[in-house]
Amino acid sequence: MELIEYIDGLFIDVPSIPDYWITARLNTTFKGHASIWYTETKEIHGRRNFPWWKSQIIQKYSNGTWIWQKTMSFDNDKYSVDKDPYEWCLRQSKRLKAIDPQMNIQMRNHKLLTQLPGELEHAVKCRHNQN
């Protein structure tokens, strides 16, 4: 989903960018299974514009199994002191955004706090309330 957000941002920042510049680079962007899927889909449907590819990507990677895998990854990745807090928080936040793109920041923060150990969660809440 980051790829779609990035490309949507390109169209906003550079509205005159030709659509084919984006779609022509999709084959080098995808890796592994996604690359095979892209190649096969392109062979079947031919050249298409980015809005069409965007809908195909969302359809392919926003299915129940994919969302379940992201949810399990989120649930199993608890914070611990040996992890970089910035990287952990960013990774978990991206997972939540992939699971539910409409989730507001307050709910996302609440879900992140539930992944913290008890004492740390309490400390964060106490410091947050002081400000």
pTM: 0.59
Tens-digit pLDDT profile for residues 26-44: 888 888 888 898 899 999 9
Give the pLDDT band of residue 2 (cuts 50, 70, 90): low
Whether residue 17 is predicted with pLDDT greater than 90 in this model: the reply is no
Confidence class of residue 114 from pLDDT cuts 50, 70 and 90? confident
- Answer whether residue 53 shows pLDDT above 90: no
Region 51-80 average pLDDT = 87
For the chain, what are the domain ranges? 2-61, 64-130
User: For the residues 59-67, what does the mean pLDDT come to?
Assistant: 81
Averaged pLDDT for residues 99-122:
83
Measured distance CA(123)–CA(87) in Å, rounded: 20
pLDDT given for residue 60 in this prediction = 83
